[in-house]
Amino acid sequence: MTQPAPVHASGVDNDRLSAQLRFVLETDKLKRILRRNLLVDGSRRENDAEHSWHLALTARVFAEYAPEGTDIDRVTELLLVHDIVEIDAGDTFIYDSAAVQDQVERERLAADRIFALLPADQAERVRTLWDEFEARETPEARFAKAVDRLAPMLANWHTDGGTWVQLGVSKGQVLEKVKIIAEGSQALGAYAASLIEDSERRGYFAG
């Protein structure tokens, strides 16, 4: 783990600040965790940190498609922390059923280690956010997850089918994953469905 510079700042609880710095430095590693999908211009694979930024921005742009009363600041917070566990657990490709099986356990262990770098009150807060995102029981978590699912579909459409073509994914498999988008946002679900129809016409799905 990366150790921060020794803290000697007056008027600050230096132990607390050191703990916060350890977390900030550790989360820098999210920039090196690669996802399967490419950037929209197809130039390279996307990493989790830039993905998280783009989701947080996209969620705000699409805020009007969330159910009325959804707290978009909470959605933003959920998206900022949702992938941090992948620093230890790695990115699990949603069509890799073997990896999906032990994903929950790997990510739980990662959460235990990484969030605990923070002072206890903040560790608990981040854990609560991550648990909320994963449970998908609040409108905020459902909307955040919807945006998280829509983003790689956009990237795939714009890179001639992207991971769908590369890994021979069928339309049925994609439709299964898309349910989660409609559960978070009716409008984004409808858009995702239209994107899939268009992708089928273009031959992006396996027989």
In this chain, which of 35, 36, 37, 56 binds a copy of itself, going by CB under 8 A?
56
Length in residues, the chain: 207
Q: What is d(CA 14, CA 20) in angstroms, rounded to the nearest whole number?
A: 10
Q: Which two tokens stand for residue 16?
A: 């607390």
| 61, 67, 72, 78 alpha-carbon torsion, rounded to 10° | -110
Q: Which two tokens stand for residue 29?
A: 């590693």
In the complex, the smallest distance separating the C-beta of residue 30 from a copy of itself, rounded to whole angstroms, is 8
Residue span binding a copy of itself (CB under 8 A) among the ranges 87-95, 136-144, 165-173, 184-192: 184-192
113 is an interface residue for a copy of itself by CB under 8 A:
no
Residue span binding a copy of itself (CB under 8 A) among the ranges 22-30, 92-100, 101-109, 170-178: 22-30
CA 83-94-33 angle, to 5 degrees, is 40
99 is an interface residue for a copy of itself by CB under 8 A:
no
Cβ distance 105 to 83 under 8 Å?
no
Cβ distance 91 to 109 under 8 Å?
no
DSSP string for 61-72: HTGGGSPTT--H
Residue span binding a copy of itself (CB under 8 A) among the ranges 7-15, 86-94, 98-106, 171-179: 7-15
In the complex, the smallest distance separating the C-beta of residue 10 from a copy of itself, rounded to whole angstroms, is 5
Q: Which two tokens stand for residue 207?
A: 């027989």
What count of Cα atoms within 13 Å lies in the side-chain half-sphere of residue 50? 14
Cβ distance 123 to 19 under 8 Å?
no
The residues in 131-160 that bind a copy of itself, with binding defined as CB under 8 A, are 154, 157-158
52 is an interface residue for a copy of itself by CB under 8 A:
yes
50 is an interface residue for a copy of itself by CB under 8 A:
yes
In the complex, the smallest distance separating the C-beta of residue 101 from a copy of itself, rounded to whole angstroms, is 29
Binding interface with a copy of itself (CB under 8 A) = 2, 4-12, 17, 20-21, 23-25, 27-32, 39-41, 43, 46-47, 49-50, 52-54, 56-58, 60-62, 65, 73, 76-77, 80-81, 118, 122, 154, 157-158, 186-187, 190-191, 193-195, 197-198
